[in-house]
Structure 1
Amino acid sequence: MNLESPTKVVDKSAEEVYEFLMNVENFEALMPENTKFEKINDTRFLFALKGMPEIVLDLKEGVPHSKVVLGAASDKLPFTLTGNITQIEDTKSEVKLIFEGSFNPMMSMMIKGPITKFIETLATNMDRIGQ
Protein backbone atom coordinates (compact mmCIF):
# COMPACT_ATOMS: atom_id res chain seq x y z
CA MET A 1 0.00 0.00 0.00
CA ASN A 2 1.38 3.39 -1.02
CA LEU A 3 -0.10 6.66 0.21
CA GLU A 4 1.13 10.22 -0.34
CA SER A 5 0.41 13.43 1.51
CA PRO A 6 -0.32 16.61 -0.37
CA THR A 7 2.87 18.57 -1.06
CA LYS A 8 3.34 21.17 1.66
CA VAL A 9 5.27 24.41 1.09
CA VAL A 10 7.16 25.42 4.24
CA ASP A 11 8.78 28.79 4.92
CA LYS A 12 12.04 27.13 5.92
CA SER A 13 15.11 26.06 3.98
CA ALA A 14 15.52 22.40 3.05
CA GLU A 15 18.36 22.24 5.57
CA GLU A 16 16.12 23.50 8.40
CA VAL A 17 13.34 21.04 7.49
CA TYR A 18 15.83 18.18 7.27
CA GLU A 19 17.42 19.00 10.65
CA PHE A 20 13.97 19.25 12.24
CA LEU A 21 12.84 15.86 10.89
CA MET A 22 16.11 14.15 11.85
CA ASN A 23 15.33 14.90 15.51
CA VAL A 24 12.66 12.30 16.37
CA GLU A 25 11.52 14.35 19.37
CA ASN A 26 10.22 17.00 16.95
CA PHE A 27 7.61 14.62 15.54
CA GLU A 28 5.52 15.28 18.64
CA ALA A 29 4.85 18.80 17.30
CA LEU A 30 3.61 17.36 13.99
CA MET A 31 1.27 14.74 15.47
CA PRO A 32 -2.52 15.09 15.43
CA GLU A 33 -4.06 16.31 18.68
CA ASN A 34 -4.72 13.68 21.34
CA THR A 35 -2.03 11.37 19.97
CA LYS A 36 0.08 9.49 22.47
CA PHE A 37 3.77 10.28 21.85
CA GLU A 38 6.83 9.02 23.69
CA LYS A 39 10.48 9.46 22.74
CA ILE A 40 12.30 6.18 23.41
CA ASN A 41 15.81 7.29 22.39
CA ASP A 42 17.51 9.59 19.86
CA THR A 43 16.41 7.47 16.89
CA ARG A 44 13.15 5.92 18.09
CA PHE A 45 9.71 7.03 19.23
CA LEU A 46 6.33 5.52 19.99
CA PHE A 47 2.97 6.93 19.00
CA ALA A 48 -0.62 5.77 19.07
CA LEU A 49 -3.47 7.10 16.99
CA LYS A 50 -6.97 6.85 18.38
CA GLY A 51 -8.36 3.38 17.72
CA MET A 52 -5.04 1.93 16.56
CA PRO A 53 -2.28 0.03 18.36
CA GLU A 54 0.91 1.73 19.52
CA ILE A 55 3.53 1.96 16.78
CA VAL A 56 7.26 2.35 17.30
CA LEU A 57 9.16 4.17 14.55
CA ASP A 58 12.91 4.13 13.99
CA LEU A 59 14.92 6.74 12.13
CA LYS A 60 16.24 4.55 9.29
CA GLU A 61 17.97 6.93 6.89
CA GLY A 62 18.77 10.55 6.27
CA VAL A 63 20.00 12.02 3.00
CA PRO A 64 21.15 15.53 3.92
CA HIS A 65 18.62 18.17 3.08
CA SER A 66 16.48 15.98 0.78
CA LYS A 67 15.11 12.87 2.51
CA VAL A 68 14.30 11.43 5.93
CA VAL A 69 13.10 7.82 6.25
CA LEU A 70 11.34 6.39 9.29
CA GLY A 71 10.41 2.72 9.52
CA ALA A 72 8.32 0.55 11.79
CA ALA A 73 10.36 -1.18 14.47
CA SER A 74 8.06 -4.21 14.38
CA ASP A 75 7.67 -6.74 11.57
CA LYS A 76 3.96 -6.98 12.43
CA LEU A 77 3.27 -3.70 10.62
CA PRO A 78 6.05 -3.41 8.03
CA PHE A 79 6.08 0.11 6.61
CA THR A 80 8.21 3.17 5.98
CA LEU A 81 7.34 6.85 6.14
CA THR A 82 9.57 8.97 3.91
CA GLY A 83 9.77 12.74 3.95
CA ASN A 84 11.00 14.10 0.63
CA ILE A 85 12.30 17.66 0.89
CA THR A 86 12.85 19.95 -2.11
CA GLN A 87 14.41 23.41 -1.85
CA ILE A 88 12.41 25.92 -3.93
CA GLU A 89 13.91 29.19 -2.61
CA ASP A 90 16.52 30.13 0.00
CA THR A 91 13.92 30.15 2.74
CA LYS A 92 11.24 27.96 1.19
CA SER A 93 10.98 24.24 0.57
CA GLU A 94 8.41 21.60 -0.30
CA VAL A 95 7.77 18.50 1.78
CA LYS A 96 5.90 15.41 0.63
CA LEU A 97 5.32 12.41 2.90
CA ILE A 98 5.13 8.93 1.40
CA PHE A 99 3.83 5.95 3.34
CA GLU A 100 4.74 2.52 1.94
CA GLY A 101 3.65 -0.68 3.62
CA SER A 102 3.09 -4.37 3.02
CA PHE A 103 -0.23 -5.43 4.47
CA ASN A 104 -2.83 -8.05 3.73
CA PRO A 105 -5.98 -6.74 2.00
CA MET A 106 -8.06 -6.73 5.20
CA MET A 107 -5.43 -4.76 7.14
CA SER A 108 -5.01 -2.34 4.22
CA MET A 109 -8.72 -1.67 4.18
CA MET A 110 -8.79 -1.05 7.94
CA ILE A 111 -5.81 1.31 8.13
CA LYS A 112 -6.02 3.21 4.83
CA GLY A 113 -8.36 5.91 6.19
CA PRO A 114 -6.58 6.57 9.48
CA ILE A 115 -3.10 6.50 7.89
CA THR A 116 -4.17 8.83 5.06
CA LYS A 117 -5.53 11.30 7.60
CA PHE A 118 -2.40 10.88 9.74
CA ILE A 119 0.10 11.72 6.98
CA GLU A 120 -2.08 14.63 5.81
CA THR A 121 -2.03 16.02 9.37
CA LEU A 122 1.76 15.58 9.61
CA ALA A 123 2.17 17.47 6.32
CA THR A 124 -0.23 20.24 7.36
CA ASN A 125 1.61 20.67 10.68
CA MET A 126 4.96 21.21 8.93
CA ASP A 127 4.22 24.92 9.50
CA ARG A 128 5.24 24.27 13.11
CA ILE A 129 8.89 23.70 12.15
CA GLY A 130 11.07 26.12 14.04
CA GLN A 131 8.31 27.39 16.34
Structure 2
Amino acid sequence: MKLESPKTTIPKSAQETFDFLSDVKNFEKLMPENISKFEVLEDDKFLFALKGMPEIVLKKKETVAPHKIVLGAAGGKLDFSLTGHITEIAADKSEVELVFEGEFNAMMAMMIKGPINKFIETLATNMPAQV
Protein backbone atom coordinates (compact mmCIF):
# COMPACT_ATOMS: atom_id res chain seq x y z
CA MET A 1 0.00 0.00 0.00
CA LYS A 2 1.32 3.42 -0.95
CA LEU A 3 -0.30 6.70 0.13
CA GLU A 4 0.91 10.19 -0.76
CA SER A 5 0.12 13.49 0.91
CA PRO A 6 -0.59 16.58 -1.14
CA LYS A 7 2.60 18.55 -1.85
CA THR A 8 2.97 21.38 0.66
CA THR A 9 4.92 24.59 0.08
CA ILE A 10 7.08 25.66 3.01
CA PRO A 11 8.37 29.26 3.29
CA LYS A 12 11.88 28.02 4.18
CA SER A 13 14.85 26.64 2.27
CA ALA A 14 15.11 22.91 1.66
CA GLN A 15 17.95 22.74 4.22
CA GLU A 16 15.88 24.51 6.92
CA THR A 17 12.93 22.20 6.21
CA PHE A 18 15.23 19.17 6.30
CA ASP A 19 16.76 20.31 9.61
CA PHE A 20 13.28 20.75 11.14
CA LEU A 21 12.12 17.29 10.06
CA SER A 22 15.43 15.70 11.11
CA ASP A 23 14.71 16.59 14.74
CA VAL A 24 12.12 13.99 15.75
CA LYS A 25 10.78 16.10 18.63
CA ASN A 26 9.42 18.57 16.03
CA PHE A 27 6.90 15.97 14.86
CA GLU A 28 4.86 16.74 17.97
CA LYS A 29 4.10 20.17 16.45
CA LEU A 30 2.77 18.52 13.28
CA MET A 31 0.51 15.97 14.93
CA PRO A 32 -3.29 16.07 14.59
CA GLU A 33 -5.43 17.49 17.39
CA ASN A 34 -6.59 14.01 18.39
CA ILE A 35 -3.13 12.97 19.57
CA SER A 36 -3.30 11.28 22.96
CA LYS A 37 0.42 10.65 23.53
CA PHE A 38 3.78 11.85 22.18
CA GLU A 39 7.12 10.85 23.65
CA VAL A 40 10.69 11.17 22.34
CA LEU A 41 12.40 7.86 23.15
CA GLU A 42 15.85 8.53 21.65
CA ASP A 43 17.47 11.20 19.44
CA ASP A 44 16.09 9.43 16.38
CA LYS A 45 12.99 7.66 17.75
CA PHE A 46 9.58 8.73 19.02
CA LEU A 47 6.29 7.21 20.07
CA PHE A 48 2.86 8.63 19.43
CA ALA A 49 -0.75 7.56 19.76
CA LEU A 50 -3.93 8.99 18.32
CA LYS A 51 -7.20 8.54 20.17
CA GLY A 52 -8.66 5.14 19.37
CA MET A 53 -5.46 3.85 17.71
CA PRO A 54 -2.55 1.79 19.08
CA GLU A 55 0.78 3.41 19.95
CA ILE A 56 3.20 3.69 17.04
CA VAL A 57 6.98 3.99 17.36
CA LEU A 58 8.83 5.65 14.48
CA LYS A 59 12.61 5.67 14.05
CA LYS A 60 14.70 7.71 11.63
CA LYS A 61 16.02 5.11 9.17
CA GLU A 62 17.64 7.20 6.43
CA THR A 63 18.50 10.81 5.69
CA VAL A 64 19.76 12.36 2.46
CA ALA A 65 20.33 16.06 3.21
CA PRO A 66 18.51 18.18 2.26
CA HIS A 67 16.12 16.11 0.13
CA LYS A 68 14.86 13.05 1.96
CA ILE A 69 14.03 11.74 5.42
CA VAL A 70 12.76 8.21 6.00
CA LEU A 71 11.03 7.21 9.23
CA GLY A 72 10.20 3.56 9.72
CA ALA A 73 8.29 1.40 12.16
CA ALA A 74 10.47 0.53 15.14
CA GLY A 75 9.03 -2.71 16.44
CA GLY A 76 5.45 -3.82 16.51
CA LYS A 77 3.66 -6.11 14.11
CA LEU A 78 3.43 -3.72 11.17
CA ASP A 79 6.31 -2.83 8.87
CA PHE A 80 5.99 0.51 7.10
CA SER A 81 7.85 3.69 6.26
CA LEU A 82 7.01 7.38 6.10
CA THR A 83 9.25 9.29 3.70
CA GLY A 84 9.49 13.05 3.44
CA HIS A 85 10.58 14.19 -0.02
CA ILE A 86 11.87 17.78 0.07
CA THR A 87 12.31 19.79 -3.13
CA GLU A 88 13.90 23.23 -3.24
CA ILE A 89 11.76 25.66 -5.22
CA ALA A 90 13.74 28.84 -4.42
CA ALA A 91 16.39 29.90 -1.90
CA ASP A 92 13.66 30.54 0.70
CA LYS A 93 10.96 28.12 -0.44
CA SER A 94 10.68 24.35 -0.52
CA GLU A 95 8.04 21.73 -1.15
CA VAL A 96 7.39 18.60 0.90
CA GLU A 97 5.49 15.46 0.00
CA LEU A 98 4.99 12.67 2.53
CA VAL A 99 4.78 9.09 1.25
CA PHE A 100 3.54 6.23 3.43
CA GLU A 101 4.43 2.71 2.27
CA GLY A 102 3.70 -0.62 3.90
CA GLU A 103 2.79 -4.21 3.20
CA PHE A 104 -0.56 -5.14 4.71
CA ASN A 105 -3.14 -7.81 4.08
CA ALA A 106 -6.30 -6.65 2.30
CA MET A 107 -8.41 -6.45 5.48
CA MET A 108 -5.80 -4.43 7.37
CA ALA A 109 -5.19 -2.14 4.39
CA MET A 110 -8.92 -1.43 4.13
CA MET A 111 -9.12 -0.57 7.84
CA ILE A 112 -6.09 1.72 8.02
CA LYS A 113 -6.12 3.44 4.60
CA GLY A 114 -8.52 6.23 5.62
CA PRO A 115 -6.93 7.07 9.01
CA ILE A 116 -3.37 6.93 7.61
CA ASN A 117 -4.30 9.11 4.63
CA LYS A 118 -5.88 11.67 6.95
CA PHE A 119 -2.84 11.48 9.26
CA ILE A 120 -0.24 12.23 6.56
CA GLU A 121 -2.43 14.97 5.11
CA THR A 122 -2.61 16.59 8.56
CA LEU A 123 1.18 16.40 9.00
CA ALA A 124 1.67 18.04 5.59
CA THR A 125 -1.00 20.69 6.24
CA ASN A 126 0.55 21.64 9.60
CA MET A 127 4.08 22.01 8.19
CA PRO A 128 4.04 25.53 6.72
CA ALA A 129 3.05 27.12 10.04
CA GLN A 130 5.56 25.09 12.10
CA VAL A 131 8.78 24.79 10.12
Deviations 1:16-46 (A, max 9, x none): 0000011000000000013121111101000
Amino acid across the alignment from 1:27:
F
TM-aligned CA deviation for residue 52 of structure 1: 1.2
Provide the residue aligned with 2:112 in structure 1: 111
TM-aligned CA deviation for residue 120 of structure 1: 0.0
Provide the residue aligned with 1:86 in structure 2: 87
Amino acid across the alignment from 1:122:
L
TM-aligned CA deviation for residue 50 of structure 1: 2.0
How far apart, CA to CA, are the structure 2 residues paired with 1:27 and 1:49?
Answer: 13
Deviations 1:73-98 (A, max 9, x none): 12511000000000000100000000
* Deviation >4 Å, runs of 4+: none
Contact 1:29 1:128 in 2 (8 A): no
Sequence identity percentage: 65
How far apart, CA to CA, are the structure 1 residues paired with 2:22 and 2:48?
Answer: 17
Aligned length: 130
Provide the residue aligned with 2:45 in structure 1: 44
Contact 1:62 1:69 in 2 (8 A): yes
Provide the residue aligned with 1:12 in structure 2: 12
The unaligned stretches of length 5 or more in structure 1 are none
TM (norm. structure 2) is 0.96
Amino acid across the alignment from 1:4:
E
Provide the residue aligned with 1:28 in structure 2: 28
